[in-house]
Amino acid sequence: MNLEELKHTATVLMAGERGLIAMDESLPTCNKRFEKVGIPQTEEYRRLYRQLIVTTPGLGEYISGAILFDETIYQSTDDKVLFVDVLKHQNIIPGIKVDEGTIDMPGSPEEKITNGLDGLDLRLNNYYGLGARFAKWRAVITIGKGLPTPANIKANAESLAKYARLCQDDDIVPIVEPEVLMDGDHTIERCYEVTQQAIKELFEQLNAHDVYLPGLILKPNMVIAGKDCTIQNSTDEVAAATVNCLLSVVPKEVAGVAFLSGGQSPQEATAHLQAMHAKFESKLPWPLTFSFSRALQQPTLELWKGKEENVKAAQDMLYFRASMDSAARAGQYSVDLDQ
Ligand code: 5MM
């Protein structure tokens, strides 16, 4: 384990006014998103889409790291340049999703646990050789009647900690993502409570596995009411709940916090990040940025539609959304800019 390298990678990922793009949709997720906008669900179309993203001119001004899926890390542009090399040329660090998706939790089938620890050490070694310098593992936590169970929170935290430890042993910065889902009619208070429990347990497990916090990034959900909750809170309320929740459980030594968007619209996710910086900047002990997938990509995908003639407009949209998220990270975003 090279602590200097880990700290350096994590610091660069979190530096300046940049953030991360999650472009690590697994085959089922990517195909589902393609199907919705009428794009053929083939390996070649997935390559064309990821080519569009990584070759977006100037993307590295706003993006510090790109999380890839296994298929993507081996792919190249039409000119046979590996995507990993295109990213490096854009000053973007390549990363890799290493979890292998979720399964129903034995004994509590309405909840999920994440697969992927078997053989992970070998896979990490291979990904390092291919140029990945950070990784991501996503755990899913469901709010419902009697859910989450303490057993589910513990099982997910343990897997995240084992994964993080294996990454650091291979000089790869782990991003730990315990995602409390927005599905359901729960209130913001319930989301606060569950997010706090999940992150608290996670840091206990990370500590038990002797994970080096300056070489680790947390990717949490924002604290927000469920999609079907009748009371939806203001932007400032979401920002306050999120920051207060994180301050109560995230150690100050962590390299940074980079949010998932979780099904919020691009404008909502951006405005929430903006409000956190505008109202709480002086209280934040860690850099706070974005690691969005849908909130960065959805408008781009809808413009592209799988057609060559739409590539330029789709890239302009991606560059624009990344610029809005970067402005939010700097506390300089406003709805007027986002037209
Ligand atoms: C891009 O989606 C990622 C992979 O998910 P699947 O394994 O389900 O395909 C996902 O982990 C993503 O990185 C995060 O959830 C953040 O995405 P959003 O859309 O919530 O910003």
Nearest CA to ligand 1 atom 4: 25
Mean pLDDT of 47-69: 99
Q: Please give the pLDDT value at position 216.
A: 99
Q: Report CA(168)–ligand 1 centroid distance (Å).
A: 22
Whether 112 is a known active-site residue: answer: no
Question: Which atom of ligand 1 is found nearest the CA of 102?
Answer: 7
Question: Which atom of ligand 1 is found nearest the CA of 24?
Answer: 1
pLDDT above 90 (res 247): yes
What is the number of other CB atoms lying within 10 angstroms of the CB of residue 42? 12
Nearest CA to ligand 1 atom 17: 293
HEC secondary structure over 99-141: CCCEEEECCEEEEEEECCCCCHHHHHHHHHHHCCCEEEEEEEE
Whether 177 is a known active-site residue: answer: yes
Domain 3-332 belongs in CATH node 3.40.309.10: no
Mean pLDDT of 228-243: 98
Radius of gyration of the chain from Cα atoms? 19
- Report whether residue 201 contacts ligand 1, using a CB cutoff of 6 Å: no
Q: What is the pLDDT of residues 268-318, one digit of tens each?
A: 999 999 999 999 999 999 999 999 999 999 999 999 999 999 999 999 999
Mean pLDDT of 163-175: 98
Mean pLDDT of 260-271: 98
Containing 57, the helix (H) or strand (E) segment is none
Integer Cα distance of 57 and 75 in angstroms:
19
Q: Name the residue with tokens 């083939």.
A: 42
**Best probe residue, ligand 1, of 97, 219, 290, 297 (max atoms within 8 Å of C-beta):** 97
- Report whether residue 138 contacts ligand 1, using a CB cutoff of 6 Å: yes
Pairing mode, strands 288-292 and 19-23: parallel
pTM over 0.90: yes
Pairing mode, strands 217-218 and 256-259: parallel
Q: Please give the pLDDT value at position 91.
A: 98
Q: Please give the pLDDT value at position 177.
A: 99
Q: Report CA(102)–ligand 1 centroid distance (Å).
A: 12
120, 278, 286: which is closest to 219 by C-alpha? 286
Q: What is the pLDDT of residues 98-143, one digit of tens each?
A: 999 999 999 999 999 999 999 999 999 999 999 999 999 999 999 9
pLDDT band at 86 (very low <50, low <70, confident <90, very high): very high
Mean pLDDT of the chain: 98
Pairing mode, strands 102-105 and 108-114: antiparallel
pLDDT above 90 (res 92): yes
pLDDT band at 175 (very low <50, low <70, confident <90, very high): very high
pLDDT above 90 (res 45): yes
Which residue(s) pair with 138 in the sheet? 177
For the record, the structure tokens of 335 come out as 């709805």
Q: Please give the pLDDT value at position 339.
A: 87
Q: Report CA(269)–ligand 1 centroid distance (Å).
A: 14
